[in-house]
Structure 1
Amino acid sequence: MEWAKLLSTEKLSSEPPEPDSFKEYPINAFEKDYSRIVSSAAFRRLQDKTQVFPLDKSDFIRTRLTHSIEVSTIARQLGIMISKNTTQYKPTDIAVPEDAEAIASVLLCAGLLHDLGNPPFGHFGETVIGDWFKENLDHVKYKGQPLRSWLSEQMIADLENFEGNAQALRILLKAKHGSSLNLSKAIISTLVKYPTDSCSVDKDSADIRKHKLGFFAAEQETFEQISEAVGTATPNKGIVRHPLTYLLEAADDIAYSTADLEDAFKKGLFTLDQFIEYYTNSYDHSKIVSHRSPEYFSDEQIQELSKQRGADHTPENDSAAFKKWLTQTRQWLMYVAIYRFSCKYKEIMAGTYCGDLFEGTNHAITIDILKGAMRKFAFDTPGILKLELSGQVILDFLLDHFVPAVLYYDSAYCTDGQAPSKADKKLLAIFSGNYKQDYQNTRTGTESFDLYLRLLVVTDYISGMTDSYARTLYRELSGIE
């Protein structure tokens, strides 16, 4: 792979040229993409989508929007660190300042976009949508036959393993048909953490890119074209990760492993003493590997936290100490991520590196402990479980109603009196015209594939909802209000 192609500013659809006067005050193409992202409706809707705590009433607790801004900031900083590092591993093929500026800008944009396809109620919402299709493809019928009998193996796997990452790509690739969010191919390629189709997913694979699906069958051809354009398509290994994807993934891990923990602490789900005890008991010294520099021995971190809190264990002092400690931990994690990227740069650029950027460092232990603390203190608390169950009721209800409504939406396939019912027509009227136009733009004339596309219209609509809108629509359609 080479940066000249990896940093492609080519768009999915052509755009009118800018006035020559604009060239007097130039900004790079990725900065222009950034402006489009922050002005888009899909990005704004993240302000009312769950990060960890569904429908939380506190202004302090992070949403998908604030989380995405934090990821974007960290990702951009990692991009800057790569081009300015002073170690022996500094990449020599990154031109300064053009490529360095572009790398930081691409990561800035990709960080904002990385959760764009997430449905309401967080990652649990993804599970609910996938489980609904697993349970219903054999029961919901189209022209007298179960939906499953109409769909290919990949179409079925797409629906049963609904994935926010693939949905984010789907949103962006609609630009091919005139969407205003017409972004550079470098950004789109960076966004795809898992360049793998749903039939090739292997969660136990040593190759991290195969752990989840990264694109649906509906977008596979376009994504392959993008991969060719940026140089991530290889003859032997298929599509490999864009090098900047590793930095985006690290930024996401750093953001949620520290910020989500801060939110959980703020909500009173654990005390500082409980966290220090958990960290101390979870730190496995047998996994320590000797490095050239002592900074990788992260067991000393928890001792630093104990010092920072001091002797006066008031809630205010504990909160300040924990926040300061998380900030320092975040900085170390960024340092180690760049260290690993630099050391493994040749493998990454060759498309042969299979791990994440914490693998092989002692801060991999830190990340595991931080994520484990969230599982212990937050994810299984009654408050979250109740709200997740509420989210499941809402999403199941919406899928129960909207999936049957779209089956006969395309009159070209309706024969022998088949047509949407009066109720179906009312439900279809609720859909934004954009979703219907998207279907018209992509329909193929092949009945089975177009049925699959109509099912994707439903997942498009539901995954695009905010938490509040999904709850309100459920209450309205169920007659509660």
Structure 2
Amino acid sequence: MYWEQLLSLKRYGDTHKRLRIEQDETRLGFEVDYDRVIFSSAFRSLQDKTQVIPLSKTDFVHTRLTHSLEVSVVGRSLGRTVGKEILAKHPYLREIHGYQFNDFGAIVAAAALAHDIGNPPFGHSGEKAIGEYFSIGNGKRFQNMFTQKEYQDLCDFEGNANGFKIVTESRKGIDGGLRLSYATLGAFMKYPKESLPKKPTNHIADKKYGVFQSEKTIFEEVARELGLLETRQGNNISYTRHPLTFLVEAADDICYTIIDFEDGINLGLIPEDYALEYLIKLVEKSINRKKYSTLITREDRLGYLRALAINTLISDACAIFMKYEDDILKGNFQVSLLAKSQYKAQIDDIIKLSVDRIYRSREVVEKEIAGYAILQNLLDCYCTAILGKNQGHSSNFDSLVLKTIPEKYLNVEDTIYHKILNIACYVASLTDSKAVELNNKIRGAAL
């Protein structure tokens, strides 16, 4: 892969090439991507979607929105740092094409901002609830109506694929969705493959999938424009990651490692003294113990260690990226950047404690159970109504239920796969509170 191609400013529908040297520096294309994501309704809905603690009303606990903003900030720093090194190593990118180190930061920041835009309500249990409705629930009735890959799209419903759908999907009068630059779309594609085959290799890019069958055409166009390398041929489409995807992933990994841990401390799920020892181990090379000893409040101590930890991991991730840049460009780098971190042992310790004390806490488990039931109830109600309409025998209740779904999810010209996928994507678009409200109304509990 080649950087000048990977940094493409092309947008969906462009009939002419966008050159970096012709860009308006006050309204740079990659920065426009960030603006388009942040002003989108799908991004705004993240303010009421679970990051770790479902339905939490505690003001200091992160939502998907605050998490995404923080990942974007970390991603920008990663991109700028790496961009500076890339331009020093490949000066022709600046001298001939006009790229600046801030371009790398802008691409990573925009992709990182959008990285959770397709995630369902109620955290990762939301994905499982949607998927299991189709794999082992009433949604199994659709299996013979779809191709194998179409059915797998639903059985392994994936927030990354839904995110790609949101930012690229054309609707009447709106071509190309948010019309982000292909460089940003490439950096966004964490798992550049279809839902099948499942985990064909141990490569990090094959861990999940990143595109529904409905977006396969635009997915291939973006990959070809960027010069991503095909990793499989024939009927199974997959490509190497865009190099900057590794930085988006690292930003996410850094934030959930440190900040989810911080949420656990603030909620009292992890004792402060016990938790701070873990963070101190991570930053022992850079901590100013004299300054640290003067900090009186937990908030100040935690804030100081958080900042040091994030900065430590940013520097480490950038060094790893540059060390393996050649392998990354050849598609031979097979793990996340932090998997090579000199602080991997400390990171693993923090994540293990978070899993034990936060993700498996009684509050989280009980609320995930409630969210699971709500999403399955909504899916069953909506899918039954769509199927009845498709087969020409809708009940009055079905017709009323369908009126609660926004028109953009009810394109009558679509195939049954598209109709059911749209229902799953609508349910995934709901905020935690809206899902609860709709479920109560449909069950008659809100009257």
With normalisation by structure 2, the TM-score equals 0.89
- How big is each residue's C-alpha offset from its partner over 1:216-261, in whole Å with a ceiling of 9 and x where there is no partner? 1221222011100111143768511001100000000011111111
1:348 counterpart = 2:328: yes
- Per the alignment, residue 399 of structure 2 pairs with 425
| AA in 2 matched with 1:467 | D
1:396 counterpart = 2:361: no
- Per the alignment, residue 269 of structure 1 pairs with 269
SS of 1:165 mapped into structure 2: helix
2:260 and 2:92 mapped to 1: Cα distance? Answer: 36
Deviates more, 1:94-103 or 1:112-121: 94-103
Go from structure 1 to structure 2 and tell me whether the alpha carbon gap of 1:311 and 1:454 turns closer, same or farther (over 3 Å shift): same
1:230 and 1:86 mapped to 2: Cα distance? Answer: 17
- How big is each residue's C-alpha offset from its partner over 1:84-115, in whole Å with a ceiling of 9 and x where there is no partner? 3499x955564276242322111111111000
State the shift of 1:306 in Å: 8.1
Q: Could you tell me whether the CA contact under 8 Å between 1:232 and 1:241 is conserved in 2? A: yes
- Per the alignment, residue 107 of structure 1 pairs with 108
1:358 counterpart = 2:338: yes
- Per the alignment, residue 39 of structure 1 pairs with 39
* Pick aligned residue for 1:474 from 428, 439, 443: 439
2:194 and 2:356 mapped to 1: Cα distance? Answer: 33
2:32 and 2:127 mapped to 1: Cα distance? Answer: 31
When the two structures are aligned, how many residues end up with a matched partner? 435
SS of 1:95 mapped into structure 2: helix
Go from structure 1 to structure 2 and tell me whether the alpha carbon gap of 1:27 and 1:405 turns closer, same or farther (over 3 Å shift): same
Go from structure 1 to structure 2 and tell me whether the alpha carbon gap of 1:429 and 1:347 turns closer, same or farther (over 3 Å shift): same
SS of 2:53 mapped into structure 1: coil
- Per the alignment, residue 292 of structure 1 pairs with none
- How big is each residue's C-alpha offset from its partner over 1:185-239, in whole Å with a ceiling of 9 and x where there is no partner? 1111111101121112218x43100000111122122201110011114376851
SS of 1:194 mapped into structure 2: coil
Q: Could you tell me whether the CA contact under 8 Å between 1:50 and 1:64 is conserved in 2? A: yes
1:148 and 1:236 mapped to 2: Cα distance? Answer: 26
State the shift of 1:421 in Å: 1.9
State the shift of 1:435 in Å: 1.3
| AA in 2 matched with 1:480 | A
State the shift of 1:26 in Å: 4.2
2:207 and 2:92 mapped to 1: Cα distance? Answer: 30
Deviates more, 1:39-48 or 1:193-202: 193-202
- Per the alignment, residue 314 of structure 2 pairs with 334
- Note the aligned Cα RMSD (angstroms): 2.9
State the shift of 1:57 in Å: 0.9
- Per the alignment, residue 419 of structure 2 pairs with 454
State the shift of 1:361 in Å: 2.8
2:266 and 2:40 mapped to 1: Cα distance? Answer: 31
State the shift of 1:463 in Å: 0.5
* Pick aligned residue for 1:202 from 199, 202, 220: 199
| AA in 2 matched with 1:196 | K
- Per the alignment, residue 287 of structure 1 pairs with none
Q: Could you tell me whether the CA contact under 8 Å between 1:75 and 1:108 is conserved in 2? A: yes
1:48 counterpart = 2:53: no
Go from structure 1 to structure 2 and tell me whether the alpha carbon gap of 1:392 and 1:57 turns closer, same or farther (over 3 Å shift): same
Deviates more, 1:72-81 or 1:31-40: 31-40
Max Rg structure: 1
Go from structure 1 to structure 2 and tell me whether the alpha carbon gap of 1:279 and 1:63 turns closer, same or farther (over 3 Å shift): closer
Q: Could you tell me whether the CA contact under 8 Å between 2:229 and 2:240 is conserved in 1? A: yes
| AA in 1 matched with 2:397 | A
State the shift of 1:310 in Å: 3.9
- Overall identity of the aligned pairs, in %: 30
1:7 and 1:76 mapped to 2: Cα distance? Answer: 15
Go from structure 1 to structure 2 and tell me whether the alpha carbon gap of 1:93 and 1:376 turns closer, same or farther (over 3 Å shift): farther
State the shift of 1:23 in Å: 8.2
* Pick aligned residue for 1:234 from 226, 230, 250: 230
State the shift of 1:311 in Å: 9.4
1:125 counterpart = 2:110: no
Q: Could you tell me whether the CA contact under 8 Å between 2:33 and 2:180 is conserved in 1? A: yes
1:467 and 1:308 mapped to 2: Cα distance? Answer: 41
- Per the alignment, residue 447 of structure 1 pairs with none
Go from structure 1 to structure 2 and tell me whether the alpha carbon gap of 1:66 and 1:473 turns closer, same or farther (over 3 Å shift): same
Go from structure 1 to structure 2 and tell me whether the alpha carbon gap of 1:301 and 1:235 turns closer, same or farther (over 3 Å shift): closer
With normalisation by structure 1, the TM-score equals 0.83
2:340 and 2:380 mapped to 1: Cα distance? Answer: 46
State the shift of 1:320 in Å: 2.3
Q: Could you tell me whether the CA contact under 8 Å between 2:139 and 2:380 is conserved in 1? A: no
| AA in 2 matched with 1:332 | T
SS of 1:43 mapped into structure 2: helix
1:181 counterpart = 2:182: no
| AA in 1 matched with 2:267 | K
State the shift of 1:32 in Å: 1.8
1:385 and 1:302 mapped to 2: Cα distance? Answer: 37
Q: Could you tell me whether the CA contact under 8 Å between 1:175 and 1:182 is conserved in 2? A: no
- Per the alignment, residue 164 of structure 1 pairs with 159
1:4 counterpart = 2:4: yes
1:116 counterpart = 2:117: yes
SS of 1:213 mapped into structure 2: coil
1:301 counterpart = 2:302: no
